[in-house]
Amino acid sequence: MILSAKCRLKTLGRGLCHIASSHLLQEDEEEYNFDFVFKELKGNSPALVNFCRREQGLLVTQGNPKKIQSVSDLGQPGMRIANRPPGTGTRLLLDLELKKAGLKETQIKGYEREFRGHLDVGLEVLAGRADAAPGIKAVAGLLGLDFISLRWERYDFLISRDRFFERGVQLFLGLLHESQFRELARGLKGYDLDLCGKMVFPQQSKPNTEE
Q: Which pLDDT score, from 0 to 100, does residue 211 have?
A: 44
188 three-state secondary structure: coil
Alpha helices in the chain (DSSP H): 5-13, 34-41, 89-100, 118-126, 137-143, 167-175, 179-186
**Cβ contacts of 137-143, under 8 Å, gap ≥ 24:** 137/54, 137/55, 137/56, 137/57, 137/189, 137/190, 138/54, 138/188, 138/189, 138/190, 138/191, 139/59, 140/57, 140/59, 140/189, 140/190, 141/188, 141/189, 141/190, 143/59, 143/119
Percent of the chain with pLDDT over 70: 94
**pLDDT tens column, 81-100:** 999 999 999 999 999 999 99
Q: Which pLDDT score, from 0 to 100, does residue 207 have?
A: 44
**Mean predicted confidence (pLDDT) in 164-192:** 95
Instruction: Give the residue with greater pLDDT, 19 vs 208.
Output: 19
Q: How confident is the model at residue 203 (pLDDT cuts 50, 70, 90)?
A: low
- pLDDT exceeds cutoff 60 at 205: no
Instruction: Supply the angle between the helices 34-41 and 5-13 in degrees, to the nearest 10.
Output: 40
Beta strands in 44-145 (DSSP E): 47-60, 132-136
CA gap 134, 71 in Å, rounded: 9
Q: Which pLDDT score, from 0 to 100, does residue 1 have?
A: 53
**Mean predicted confidence (pLDDT) in 104-121:** 97
Percent of the chain with pLDDT over 90: 81
**pLDDT tens column, 20-31:** 999 999 988 989
Domain boundaries, given as residue ranges, for the chain = 5-52+154-192, 55-151
Q: Which pLDDT score, from 0 to 100, does residue 63 have?
A: 98
Q: Which pLDDT score, from 0 to 100, does residue 97 have?
A: 97
Find how far residue 107's CA is from the centre of its chain: 24
Q: Which pLDDT score, from 0 to 100, does residue 4 have?
A: 86
166-187 b/e (C-beta count within 10 Å ≥ 16 → b): eeebeeeeeebeeeeeeeebee
- pLDDT exceeds cutoff 60 at 110: yes
Return the CATH class of domain 55-151. alpha beta
pTM: 0.88
- pLDDT exceeds cutoff 90 at 186: no
Name the least confident of 25-29, 163-167, 192-196: 25-29
**pLDDT tens column, 41-54:** 876 789 999 999 99
